[in-house]
Amino acid sequence: MIGATDTTATMVEWAMAELINKPEVMKKVQEELSDIVGLDKVVEESHVPKLHYLEAVFKETLRLHPALPLLIPKRPSQSSIAGGYTIPKDTKVFSNVWAMHRDPEAWDEPSEFKPERFLSYPCKFDYSGNNFQFLPFGSARRICPGIPLAEKMVMHVLASLLHSFDWKLPEGEVLDLSERSLGL
C-alpha cells in the first residue's frame, strides 16, 4: 500500500493551503457547511455526499497537486506503440499526470485554483480513470483501490476543520504554493 495515509494527509494539507490563500473560496465552503450541516451540529459521514462545492474543492486540489505526480512506474510485459512512440517491453514508464492536469489545451486557466470548473453536472471530470485529462488516482488495473476511503476521509476531515474554525494567515502574508520538486 503506497502511503495511503501520507497521500490522504497531503491532500488535506494542500486543500487547506489553497483555501487559506483564497478566503472567498473558503467562505463558499463554509456557507455550504452551514446550509447542509448547520452551525449547531457536528459534521457526520452522512453529510459528506451532499457537500458538492467541497467535492469540487477536493477535485481541484487533486488536479493542481496530485499526490503521486508521476503515478507508480509501470513496466509493460509486451512492446507497444503509444501516441506514435514505440515502448519496448520492460521499459520503465512514468505517466506525468502533473503535466496532464496543467495542460492548457485541456484546462481553462490551468494554473488557477478554480473549483467551479468541476461543478457542471453531470461532471465530465470524475477520477474513475476513464478521463485521460484527470488521473489523480491513476487508471486501469493499477488504479488506486483506496478511492472510496480516500474521498470519505479527505472530505470529512476538511469539512470538520472548516465547519468548526475560521482559518487565516497573519495580516499581509500570502502562502507560496509553487512546487519545486522532481523538476516537474
Tell me how far, at minimum, the Cβ of 113 lies from ligand HEM, in Å: 17
C-alpha grid cell for residue 92?
Answer: 520503465
Nearer to ligand HEM, 28 or 66 (CB): 66
Which residue is it, cell 470538520? 160
User: What's the half-sphere exposure (Cβ side, CA atoms, 13 Å) at 122?
Assistant: 2
Part in contact with ligand HEM (CB under 6 A); list of ranges 25-33, 42-50, 68-76, 109-117? 68-76
Q: What Rg value do the Cα atoms of the chain yield, rounded? A: 18
Figure out which of the listed residues 37, 54, 68, 158 binds ligand HEM, where binding follows CB under 6 A. 68
Figure out which of the listed residues 113, 138, 162, 163 binds ligand HEM, where binding follows CB under 6 A. 138
Tell me how far, at minimum, the Cβ of 149 lies from ligand HEM, in Å: 4
175 binds ligand HEM (CB under 6 A): no
Give contact residues for ligand HEM (rule: CB under 6 A): 1-2, 4, 7-8, 11, 67-68, 71-72, 136-139, 142-146, 149-150, 154
